[in-house]
Amino acid sequence: MLLRGAISHGQYYLSSQSLIIGEAVDDAAENHEKFDWIGVSLSPSLSNEINDISQINTNSIVMFRNIPHKISL
């Protein structure tokens, strides 16, 4: 299965019908459309909140520093 998306943070609202809306959802939705690749990355707002992601000690993350973005006209 191939995925493309963005992980964000912020406030959100979850309704009883499983509708999710809010700042975090908007941020992730806006940024996942900008990527020109298959993968999941942090939104700019979340990456700004993390001081140094290279300090995360795990074998389950592959990190790319230069994610290709679509060219906007």
Per-residue pLDDT tens digits for 21-72: 999 889 888 887 787 777 888 887 887 777 666 666 666 656 666 777 777 6
Q: What number of residues does the chain have?
A: 73
How many helices and strands in the chain, by DSSP H and E? 2, 4
d(CA 42, CA 7): 5
What pLDDT does 9 receive? 85
For position 22, what pLDDT does the model report?
Answer: 92
Evaluate the CA torsion angle 66, 5, 27, 56 in order and state its sign.
Answer: negative
Tell me: pLDDT of 12 over 70.
yes
Of residues 25 and 1, more confidently modeled: 25
